Structure 1
Amino acid sequence: MIEPFAERGGWAALDVDTPGRSKEDEAKGREIASRFHECFRTEPGRFVLDRLINITILRPTVTPESTQFEAGIKEGRADIVRQIMANIELAERGID
């Protein structure tokens, strides 16, 4: 199981995605992206997404008072919003 990764060097060794996606995985990815698009491209969905962006991505992750733990929590929340945005973009552009 580790052989394909052991043969890689440099940054490629850190790429843990399996080379090439199966047609089933691609279809599943398109379905997921499509559902995110359906949900967040409606008027209420856009309102919610705008709110999520404003309270996560547009706010600083680290402040002088924040602990490392708090910064990690904030970054995790922001990452979820970035994943939503990435799925919307995938649905609009199509999955390569």
Structure 2
Amino acid sequence: MIYRHPQAHTFTTAERAFAVEHSAAQLFGGPETLRDKLATLYAKAEADELMGITLVPDHADRVRSYELLAKVSGELGNGAPAVLLP
């Protein structure tokens, strides 16, 4: 179901649980928040690289999202390459 004004929607307990469960695997926020979440994800996964997707419909905004992700990832200094392949 699509809501025209989601801020006016009252979420059910099941909807809230679904959102919490699925947002746990998503990385979003400002640079500091994203850096912290990426660092945690790298540590939990014991990964030396990560692949990501962004669900931004506008092409220019999507490229910008990838640029920001690459920048923050590169700042972690964990040896993981920050590569942008839009």
**More helix as a share of residues:** 1
When Rg is computed on C-alpha atoms for both structures, the one with the higher figure is 1
TM-score grouping bracket, smaller chain normalisation: 0.3 to 0.5
| TM-score normalised by L of structure 2 | 0.33
